[in-house]
Structure 1
Amino acid sequence: MNQLEQLQKITTIVADTGDIDSIRKFTPEDATTNPSLVLKAIQSGKFDHILDALKKQSEDTDDLIDRISVEIGDEILKIVPGYVSTEVNARLSFDTEKTIAKARKLIGLYEQKGWSKDRILIKVASTWEGIQAARQLEQEGIRCNLTLLFSMEQAKACADAGATLISPFVGRILDWYKKETQQEYTAQDDPGVVSVKEIYNFYKSHGYKTIVMGASFRNTGEILELAGCDRLTIAPALLEELASTQSPVVQKLAPSTDVQPHLSPITEAEFRFAMNQNAMATEKLAEGIRNFIADQDKLADLLG
């Protein structure tokens, strides 16, 4: 078996793309999208026929972006058997109530197309406000994927909120440390890999049900070092590399057999202080939100 086939036996593989052809090729369980991937999908021209129809239905750009995001999700849902993640507008990352309203709207659009909300993960940035929005949405039966996650404090708050899934980033953490330290890292001491391992082990040792899905990979070494993680969302180029490599895959992560009680929930003050003390997490979270907003603006210009 190739590495992708071996990995699929111990980890649920998720396609990190809006490219329909890639999803068909690699047959992942789930798929994730974000504003950058939606922009790329639109730029491919494969959704021009859908865009033309939607423009006749709506002249509001924000509404059009919501609808095209759901149209892309609809096409993906026809292929994958599991979840599709659709992201809330990054401009709402610090507004709990508007995040909740946007999530409800997206779920409503999916339901109009015949999809159960059980198949959808609403992606929300792991700000304090985003996490509290997820708490409310989960209570309503709307499942959430907390993204742009770079720290244990974010992971703790997401688990406290009952989030269905978190997407701790690997590659962006590595990027920060390489720039900060001017050092190179192996897969074993990669700071992003170490972060995801710590979060995974914390969740499993304390019995938290939130799914850990490693994301934002720079190379297959990072992916293989997290073999056994609940889920891994992987871009098509790295899926291709795994599929064309025959080397053995060794499971690196497994659930704990000694489960301790949950810890006391992290407070808002504790969360904000911990984030303030973590330069990497603070900078990468802010940068990620800015970049998603920038791509959303590009998408708006393209649709305008």
Structure 2
Amino acid sequence: MKFFIDTANLAEIREAKEFGLVDGVTTNPSLFAKESENWRTLAEKICQEIEGPVSLEVVGTTAKDMVQEARELVKIGPNVVVKIPMLLEGMKAVKILKEEGIETNVTLCFSPLQALMAAKAGASYISPFVGRLDDMSSEGMELVEQIMTIYGNYNFATQVLVASIRNPVHILQAALLGADVATVPFGVFGKLAKHPLTDIGLEKFLADWENAPKK
């Protein structure tokens, strides 16, 4: 499973790269709004920093506006994937962009039928938002399981990109279901390596080493 980092913060991207955990980046308007630098300048730097896909999102809500924005976004870098909202107008845009050879990531997916529509339209990625479903007392990972089953039934090429991840359990479940990508907030990366038995074991090894004969 590939790991994308869900951030527009260049320092976080660079640090996660040092761990060997970054295969790509996902951003959105809210993430860019948190940063002080001009969003386009920052997007250019991110595309230069990362060899893998970098998702940049349109803000238009009509197919015409989305397609026009997408054509401009891909000029930012050769690895740009255009995020398109899960709307009927969005599906029109995805179909047009597919024909133009522009990769798309359909975002804000909350149902298996939405995912089916996106795949049929030609989306490169579908982003089910598992954490937001969990927040509504639904089973977010059940949606991922349903999408994986549907895509497997019909051999769709659309990759399942699990989004709105809240904790390491989401990543484990996504991996067990065979999801193609998990897009992970920076803070969750640090939790992946943590286990109390690892800490206890290391503490014991170091204590034993201090008592070991050195001559």
Query: TM-score interval w.r.t. the shorter chain?
Result: 0.7 to 0.9
1:80 corresponds, among 46, 50, 72, to 50
Q: Structure 2 residue aligned with 1:35, among 5, 29, 37? A: 29
Which has the bigger relative contact order, CA under 8 A and spacing at least 6?
A: 1
Is structure 2 residue 190 aligned with structure 1 residue 240?
yes
Which of 71, 78, 91 aligns to 2:41? It is 71
SS of corresponding position for 1:145: strand
Q: 1:23 aligned to 2:13? A: yes
Check if 1:103 corresponds to 2:87: no
Alignment partner, residue 149 of structure 2: 201
C-alpha contact (below 8 Å) 2:115/2:126 kept by paired residues: yes
The one-letter code matched in structure 2 to 1:225 is: Q
SS at match of 2:91: helix
Cα deviation, 1:192-225, whole Å, max 9, x if unaligned, reads 0110111012112320000100000122112211
SS in 2 for 1:124: strand
Alignment map for 1:5-154 (pairs within 5 Å): 11-27=1-17, 28-42=22-36, 47=37, 51=38, 68=39, 70-89=40-59, 92-93=60-61, 95-108=62-75, 110=76, 115-116=77-78, 119-154=79-114
Deviation at 1:247, TM superposition (A): 8.1
**SS in structure 1 opposite 2:51?**
coil
Which amino acid in structure 2 is aligned with residue 32 of structure 1?
T
Tell me the amino acid that sits aligned with residue 173 of structure 2.
E
- Give the deviation of 1:246 after TM superposition: 8.0
Aligned to 2:166: 218
Computed over aligned residues only, the root mean square deviation of the Cα atoms, in angstroms, reads 1.8
Aligned-partner Cα distance in 2 for 1:101–1:213? 24
Matched letter for residue 158 of structure 1? A
C-alpha offsets along residues 144-185 of structure 1, whole Å, 9 cap, x if unaligned? 11000001111011110111111111000111126xxxxxxx
1:40-68 superposed Cα distances (whole Å, 9 cap, x missing partner): 122xxxx2xxx4xxxxxxxxxxxxxxxx2
Runs of at least 4 residues off by over 2 Å: 243-248
| Residue 78 (structure 1) shift | 2.2
Between the aligned partners of 1:245 and 1:125, the Cα distance in structure 2 is 37
Structure 2 Cα separation of the partners of residues 163 and 88 of structure 1? 15
What is the Cα deviation at residue 31 of structure 1?
A: 0.2
| Cα distance between partner residues in 1 of 2:92 and 2:195 | 42
Superposition TM-score, scaled by structure 1 size: 0.60
Give me the whole-angstrom Cα distance separating, in 1, the residues matched to 2:11 and 2:97.
32
Q: Report the alpha carbon displacement of residue 143 of structure 1 after superposing the two structures with TM.
A: 0.8
Deviating more after overlay: 233-242 vs 75-84: 75-84
Structure-2 change in CA distance of 1:126 and 1:159 (3 Å): same
Give distance in 1, aligned partners of 2:189 and 2:196.
13
CA–CA distance in structure 1, aligned partners of residues 196 and 160 of structure 2: 26
SS in 2 for 1:121: strand
Give, in whole Å, the separation in 2 of the partners of 1:156 and 1:238. Answer: 29
CA distance in 1, matches of 2:3, 2:196: 17
Q: Is the 8 A contact 2:73 2:80 kept in 1?
A: no
More strand by share: 2
Between structure 1 and structure 2, the one with the greater Rg is: 2
Preserved CA contact (<8 Å) 2:5 2:26: yes
1:175 aligns with 2:135: yes
- Inter-CA distance 22–243: structure 2 relative to 1 (3 Å threshold): farther
